[in-house]
Amino acid sequence: MEYWLGLDGGGTRTTVCAEDAAGSELARFEVGALNINGQRAGAAEEALAEAARELERRGLPLGGCVSLAVGAAGISNPQARERLAAALAELAFRGELTLAGDQETALAGALEGRPGIALIAGTGSIAYGRSEAGETHRAGGFGHLIDDEGSGYAIGRDMLAAIVRAADGRSRPTALAEPAFRQLGLEPGRLPELVRWVYDPARPKSSVAALAPLLQPACEAGDAAALAIARRAAGALAELAEAVAARLGLGGGELAPLGSVLLRCAPVRDAFAERLAERLPQLSLTAARRDAASGAVLLARRARPASGEEGSPC
């Protein structure tokens, strides 16, 4: 049977979603990582082969896929397209192939093609929007060394900075210190051990971002350093949204907050909502309607609509 396929590729896992011509979901499952940047050679091809095997097992051979869209970081370069197209051809895929950034599939799924903005704040941060006319713009998302403000990584980094400032006397003691040392498996107050942990060359940025959930309890306890970090993160995220709205001239529409920082850290989320109401009252905060894998299917349907179906506006 004919079907449309969407893949939401990530650094640890890939969500696969298949729909029939009527838009009913036929399958949803996860396979290995599909992230072109920083992966070992062949990992993306292995994820595609794993997806093809599972689809076959479910009675959906890849040869029946009319259109396939893949959303992942680092996927827009020509080399990535050549690699994925070649791998899919070997798996008997003959349909339409669409490659998109993960922010594009997130927006398509969250707003189901409506104009507006997806603001993503997880380990990194990025805002991506689309106007009524179909124009798009992104702000942020340029990596933790020069950007990703308001992200989980930025919050974790600022927490560590607050801890060392308190330890050497530049600021007052902070309630962030003890839980952070405990989470890192370090003896509380041992600043040299903390510094070694931070500057370990093998330390992934996700380890720093993993400290972000400790912010909310400290904010609830009224810790001044934690509250300042929450306000700073909220302001940085609001700037991302403001930049996209201004560039696209959005006089209305919706903004979907996505990612662990905006969905699970109430102090940041609430401060962001206040800033948004002040600076962008024309935008309404809305919960995501669908996930990025479903958004990828929407892009696949836009690229090759079903018979009698008009192209999606997303």
Q: Does residue 138 lie within any of the structural domains? A: yes
Instruction: Tell me, yes or no, whether 80 and 156 share the same domain.
Output: no
Distance of CA 45 to the CA centre of its chain: 22
Same domain, 81 and 121: no
Q: Is residue 310 part of a domain?
A: no
Does residue 312 lie in a domain region? no
* Burial grade of 151 (CB within 10 A; 0-12, 13-18, 19 or more): buried
Q: Is 314 a domain residue?
A: no
Neighbours of 146 (CB within 10 A): 7
Rounded distance between C-alpha atoms, residue 62 and residue 2, angstroms: 9
Q: Specify whether 279 is located in the same domain as 203.
A: yes
My answer on whether 283 and 297 are in the same domain is no
**Is residue 311 included in any domain, yes or no?**
no
Q: What is the pLDDT of residue 37?
A: 62
Q: What is this structure's pTM?
A: 0.89
Give the pLDDT confidence score for residue 96 in this predicted structure.
95
CATH of the domain at 81: 3.30.420.40
Give φ, ψ of 15 to 5 degrees: -95, 130
Q: How far apart are CA 210 and CA 230, in angstroms?
A: 15
**Number of domains the chain contains:** 2
What the block records as the tokens of 180 is 């952070």
Domain-located, residue 20: yes
Residues of the chain with pLDDT under 50: none
User: Is 165 in a helix, a strand, or coil?
Assistant: helix
246-294 tens-digit pLDDT: 999 998 899 999 999 999 999 999 999 999 999 999 999 999 999 999 9
- Residue 296 sits in the same domain as residue 283: no
Residue 240 belongs to a domain: yes
**Predicted pLDDT of residue 12:** 81
160 in the same domain as 46: no
Q: Examine the domain organization and report whether 70 and 121 are in the same domain.
A: no
Q: What is the pLDDT of residue 44?
A: 85
Is 74 in the same domain as 132?
A: no
Domain membership of residue 226 as a residue range: 115-288
Tell whether 313 is covered by a domain.
Answer: no
pLDDT digits (tens, 9 = 90+) for 194-222: 999 999 999 999 999 999 999 999 999 99
Using CA atoms, how far apart are residues 245 and 121, in angstroms rounded to an integer? 17
Same domain for 275 and 242: yes
One domain, residues 138 and 178: yes
Cα–Cα distance measured from residue 112 to residue 109, given in angstroms and rounded to the nearest whole number: 5
Directed axis angle between helix 43-57 and helix 78-90, to 10°?
40
Type and span of the H or E element at 209: helix 205-209
Q: Is the sign of the CA dihedral 279, 147, 77, 44 positive or negative?
A: negative
Could you tell me if 282 and 296 lie in one domain?
A: no
- Of the candidates 85, 114, 123, 119, the residue with the CA atom closest to the CA atom of residue 244: 119
- Alpha helices (H) in 212-310, listed in sequence order: 215-220, 224-248, 260-264, 266-279, 292-303
Residue 287 in tokens: 């919960």
Q: Yes or no: say if 143 and 124 are a contact pair by the CB < 8 Å rule.
A: yes
Tell me, yes or no, whether 35 and 86 share the same domain. Answer: yes
